[in-house]
Amino acid sequence: MSIIKFNLTKEHIALIKAIDWKTIAFPHLKQEVNTNTPFTNGESITQDIGLILFGKRYDEITPEHKEDVKYSQEEITHMKKLYEELPLALSICLYCNDFEPGEYKTKSYLREWTKIN
């Protein structure tokens, strides 16, 4: 029997809260949005996540300055990891009916998450 452990962070929760569910479930409702990203204004995943976590949202930045938002390779790697972990993070939040950061665990063949600390 194997145990899965996962550290649900405030960053995971911020990203989950920023998902624009209409772009996922009903992409035709937002025709101007690039449906390759489930976030905010439909810019690139990296730019959307970076702005959600580290800075202003695109709708607060003037169009001529959007290209100026740059992130280090370390930040980009971190953002990609968070994005890949979102399904698991959402699974924890939904199962526990809570959005509380912390360490969670479950058996590998179940999704009965419990908070460790």
What pLDDT does 33 receive? 47
Q: Choose among 63, 62, 41: nearest CA to 52.
A: 41
DSSP helix/strand/coil, 105:
strand
Alpha carbon of 71 to those of 49, 51, 53, 62, 86: distances in Å? 11, 10, 11, 18, 20
Pick the residue with more confidence: 111 or 115? 115
Structural domain total, the chain: 1
Cβ atoms of 80 and 99 within 8 Å: the answer is: no
- Domain housing 76: 3-115
Please state, in angstroms and rounded to a whole number, the distance separating the CA atoms of residues 53 and 14: 7
Q: 106 in helix, strand or coil?
A: strand
Residue 106 has pLDDT above 90, yes or no: yes
More confident residue, 5 or 57: 5
This prediction's pTM: 0.76
Give the count of beta carbons closer than 10 Å to the beta carbon of residue 26.
Answer: 9
Summarised one tens digit per residue, pLDDT across range 37-93 is: 787 665 678 888 888 888 754 445 555 555 556 677 888 899 999 999 999 999 999
